[in-house]
Amino acid sequence: MSYIHLKLSLLDQQTTQPQPTRKKVLLFDAIRGLQYIEDYIDERQHDWLLDHIDKQPWLDDLKRRVQHYGFKYDYKARKVNLDMRIGELPEWLKRFRDKLYKDGQMPRAADQVIVNEYLPGQGIASHIDCEPCFEGTIVSLSLGSGCIMDFTNKSDKTKKIPVWLAPRSLVVLNGEARHEWLHGIAARRSDEWDGQKYERRRRVSLTFRKVIIK
């Protein structure tokens, strides 16, 4: 997809996909430690970041395409160690890593980032990010299409809370949201929100984490 066509597609999404709240920051009483921030970056930053991502090589070892920075994460073994260190984050990622730290969204600057690409019909199983691998704050930035992320209580699977992730929004997981709730994205081609059906398009997410090295 060319940059021009991608830009037009993103503009179309912004007019056809929902915004769940007029508030800038949303805290969920039912999920302590979950924070949702709309418009965390502006459209120019969004397009600049997505353009840099699309210039990098993708890995195809999962059902979806991914990029690893800082450390390679072993999904099967659910581990990360010094032998899996790739190197420093690239400069184009550091500016957003530093923004998260300066804004107080992460208590320590992230040293590991995973970029995930989700095409319509793709998702990710409900999970809790590896607790022995990463510190207690997980941050995810959404680019491209919006979608619903489901949060499920690990002790009571009947407790499921959907959250609409809009383009340019940030989700911060701390405390119970980090350790007591699974999060995942259903593998489907559309979402229903407030009684309306919304077709998914290409979505790219960046997950920022701080590695625990033992």
Coil/strand/helix, residue 154: coil
Q: Which domain holds residue 12?
A: 3-209
Give me the residue label for tokens 């407790």.
159
> How large a percentage of the chain has pLDDT more than 90?
77
214 in any annotated domain: no
| Residue 172 belongs to a domain | yes
CATH label of the domain that carries residue 124: 2.60.120.1520
Give alpha helix (H) positions in the chain: 3-16, 43-53, 91-102, 175-179
Dump pLDDT digits (tens) for 140-156: 999 999 999 999 999 99
Q: How far apart are CA 209 and CA 206, in angstroms?
A: 10
Residue 83, C-beta contacts closer than 8 angstroms, at least 6 positions apart: none
Question: Count of domains in the chain?
Answer: 1
Task: Kindly report whether the global pTM for this prediction surpasses the value 0.85.
Answer: yes
Dist CA 69 CA 67 (whole Å):
7
Whether the predicted pLDDT of 23 surpasses 60: no
Please state the length of the chain: 214
Nearest by Cα to 36 from 139, 175, 161, 159: 139
Tell me phi and psi for residue 98, to 5 degrees.
Answer: -70, -35
Contact 33, 178 (CB under 8 A): yes
* Burial of residue 96, with CB atoms counted within 10 A of its CB: 0-12 exposed, 13-18 middle, 19 or more buried: buried
Question: What pLDDT, in 10s, does the model give residues 140-198?
Answer: 999 999 999 999 999 999 999 999 999 999 999 999 999 999 999 999 999 999 899 99
Q: Is 1 exposed, middle or buried (0-12, 13-18, 19+ CB in 10 A)?
A: exposed
